[in-house]
Amino acid sequence: MLRPSTTIPPREHGPLWRDPRVRAFVLQAVMLLVAVVLVILLTNNTLSNLAAQGVTTGFNYLSQRSGFGISQTLVEYSANSTYADAFTVGLLNTLLVAGLSIVTCTLLGLLVGMARLSSNWLLSRCATVYIEIFRNIPMLLQLLFWSALMMSVLPEFKKSYSLWGVAFLNKKGLVLPWVEFSSSTWPLWLALALGLVAMLVMRNINQYRVRRGKDGWPVRWLTLALIVLPPLVTFFCSSIHASLSLPKLTAFSSRGGIHLIPELVVLWLTLTLYAAAFVAEAVRSGLASVPNGQREAATSLCLPGGLTMRKIVLPQAMRVIIPQLASQYLNVIKNSSLGIAIGYPDLFAVYGITTLNQTGQALEIMATTMAVYLALSLLVSLLMNLINARMALKER
């Protein structure tokens, strides 16, 4: 029987320290404070001890002259540049090889993964052999193997393969004709970026319109126009001139054109082949996770195989594939530091080894190198999580 409400004693709040929420909050705050104080104390103690030992600390070295050469530099760099510039060169080289490898290993992995599930016996066996070989041999060994193979296959510099006298291939790499700009090209890149943003906005507006029942725009043509036109218009309206730079061989090297060093190619190739094997497995598990009924339903609608794959199976498989893909991309970024074994000047080689040795600032340099790899990995995880969230099953 219900008692009259007036007889219920007013809810006791009790002392603050008995409230579990307050207690949890205070406890966490105290823990955080202790952690912060500990870190500050340890840092101070480390710095004063290092100073007592005569070890120079701090980041002043970054503005000093580096004094060493690097074989591949995407931005202006010479021995007169600073250690900070060397850091940038190394970081860009890491990003370059990791970016290239991520694109190619995804494409190759997708093909091999689908081939593995193919009803064609030969094709699926070939894919299996590929996956088992490349997945099970340590990447460092593969790297050294391809490097040695490349060096034995490529001709000596004096016996370079020549392609109509405008492109050359030899042990020092591949030299190709290249477009040379008279001044800095940043306006073109800015225009491209703005075009891409405009394209995204356009696509969203279009989706909104379609959902409202209005006619869609010709999205494909608009996309193409928004990507291509802004840089083109900028180019013709600005004072930037472009000219074709043809390489010419000299006694030991070449002048003009663009030079692709063999270390980049070998590292790119190895990262691609190695990671693609894992991507292929991710793709296979993704495809296998789609219930057979989906395919059967598509078949009964008389959809052709290719269309079934593209419109029905793959989109559902992606939900399984993407998280695994993300971890493969992280591996590609981290594994790119193995390039040091073949002389590829990535962040670890240029900054983590050479700069560390020239300056002796081990703590600062190891900390920043690790922070960079961590930041890159977190960034990739974030992007992949965003994509994953978009792809996730939406229940309406």
Partner 1 sequence: MRTRTVLTAMSIAMAGMLATQFSHAGTLENVKKRGELRCGVSDGLAGFSAPDAKGRWQGIDTEMCRAVATAVLGNPEKVTFVPLPNSERFTALQSGEVDLLSRNTTWSASRDNSMGLSFPGGVLFYDGQGFMVHKDAGVTSPKELDGATVCTQSGSTSEMNMADFFASHSLHYQAVTFESPAQLLAAFEGGRCDSISIDSSQLAALRSQLKDPDSGVILPEMISKEPLAPMVRRGDEAWGKVVSWTLYAMLNAEEMGITSKNVDALTAAPKSPDMARLLGKDGDFGKQLGLSNDWAHNIVKNVGNYGEIFDRTVGEHSPLKLARGKNALWNAGGFQYAPPVR
From the list 4-12, 83-91, 123-131, 150-158, the region that binds partner 1 by CB under 8 A is 150-158
Minimum separation from the CB atom of position 19 to partner 1 (A): 38
Does the footprint of partner 1 cover residue 75 (CB under 8 A)?
no
- 66 versus 308: smaller Cβ distance to partner 1: 66
Cα angle, residue 265 at apex, residues 262 and 269 outer, rounded to 5°:
140
Please select the residue that binds partner 1; options are 50, 141, 237, 382, rule is CB under 8 A: 50
CB of 143 to partner 1, least distance (A): 12
* Residue tagged 């043509």 (tokens): 221
The angle subtended at Cα 229 by Cα 226 and Cα 232, nearest 5°, is 150
Tokens linked to 395: 């229940």
Instruction: Select the residue interacting with partner 1 from 146, 277, 352, 372 (CB under 8 A).
Output: 352
C-beta of 101 vs 147, nearer to partner 1 = 147
Q: Can residue 90 be called a binding residue for partner 1 (CB under 8 A)? A: no
How far apart, in Å, are the Cα atoms of 250 and each of 157, 168, 266, 298? 10, 12, 25, 62
Cβ distance to partner 1 smaller for residue 1 or 153: 153
First and final CA of the chain: distance in angstroms? 44
CA 236 to chain centre: 32
8 A C-beta contact, residue 360 and residue 55: yes
- Closest to 105 (Cα-Cα) out of 322, 328, 320: 328
Q: By CB under 8 A, what part of segment 354-383 binds partner 1?
A: 354, 356-360, 362-363, 366, 370
Neighbours of 350 (CB within 10 A): 28
Query: Which is closer to partner 1, CB of 95 or CB of 353?
Result: 353
**Among residues 26, 40, 151, 378, which is the contact residue for partner 1, using CB under 8 A?**
151
Please name which of 157, 237, 231 lies closest in space to residue 198, comparing C-alpha atoms. 231
Closest to partner 1 by CB, 107 or 140: 140
Site for partner 1 in 51-70 (CB under 8 A): 52-56, 67-70
Nearer to partner 1, 159 or 209 (CB): 159
Residue with tokens 């309206």: 237
CB of 153 to partner 1, least distance (A): 11
Distance, in Å, from the CA atom of 353 to the CA atom of 365, rounded to the nearest integer, reads 9
Rounded to the nearest whole angstrom, what is the least distance from the CB of residue 227 to partner 1 in the complex?
Answer: 35
**Residues between 182 and 241 that touch partner 1 (CB under 8 A):** none
User: Identity (one letter) of the amino acid at 393?
Assistant: L
Question: Does the footprint of partner 1 cover residue 341 (CB under 8 A)?
Answer: yes
Number of residues near partner 1 (by CB under 8 A): 54
Angle, nearest 10°, between helix axes 83-116 and 121-136?
150
Nearer to partner 1, 2 or 251 (CB): 251
Task: Using CB atoms within 10 Å of the CB of residue 395, give its burial: 0 to 12 exposed, 13 to 18 middle, 19+ buried.
Answer: exposed
Q: Which is nearer to partner 1, 28 or 78 (CB)?
A: 78
Give dist(CA 296, CA 300) in Å, integer: 6
Q: Which residues bind partner 1 (CB under 8 A)?
A: 42, 45-47, 49-50, 52-56, 67-71, 78-80, 148, 151-152, 156-157, 171-172, 250-253, 255, 261-263, 337, 340-343, 345, 348-349, 352-354, 356-360, 362-363, 366, 370
